[in-house]
Amino acid sequence: MIQQTFLMVKPDGVQRSIVGEIVSRFEKKGFQLVGAKLMHVSQDLAETHYGEHREKPFFKELVDFITSGPVFAMVWEGENVIANARQMMGKTNPQEALPGTIRGDYGLIVDKNVIHGSDSPESAQREIALFFSESEVVSYNKQLNSLLY
């Protein structure tokens, strides 16, 4: 099923200049970029976005980190993109993420794990709406898609 997901290069990834590398991986896989912006995440947006972790011991640290510098927020579209992007990202803890995954190749510790990705269709819908207005998500046909599907 063709889906959309919300992906975000976290402040560590932006600081380390691997935004292009990360975008490139999803492009080469065959997914289609339909929304993107470099932005600061406000305290409010961070707390809403990570609301499911409000009671966790690492919540404050998580919010402080995601608001510490610009992030690169993206919407990606394609076949089964929600689960597939999570696979390409690797496990939450980069120490457990396999080589070849984004966190496995670029991350060292769980607090600074380079990228966020929606974990379900419900999360994807919620997070896309949180970060992007409707007019910022651009649907368009790519010739290439006829070679993929």
Query: How far apart are the C-alpha atoms of 45 and 146, rounded to whole Å?
Result: 37
Q: Which residue is nearest to ligand RTP (CB)?
A: 92
Query: How far apart are the C-alpha atoms of 145 and 31, rounded to whole Å?
Result: 9
Q: For the chain, what's the residue count?
A: 149
Quickly list H helices, 4-92: 11-15, 19-29, 43-49, 59-66, 81-89
Q: Which two tokens stand for residue 149?
A: 């599907």
Site string for ligand RTP, 101-120 (x = CB under 6 A): ---------xx-x--xx-x-
- For residue 89, which phi and psi values (nearest 5 degrees)? -75, -35
54 marked as part of a ligand binding site: no
58 marked as part of a ligand binding site: yes
- Decide: is 35 part of the binding site for ligand RTP (CB under 6 A): no
- Decide: is 49 part of the binding site for ligand RTP (CB under 6 A): no
Judge whether 40 counts as a catalytic residue. no
Residue from 23, 62, 83, 137 binding ligand RTP (CB under 6 A): 62
The residues annotated as belonging to the active site are: 116
List residues binding ligand RTP (CB under 6 A).
53, 58, 62, 92, 110-111, 113, 116-117, 119
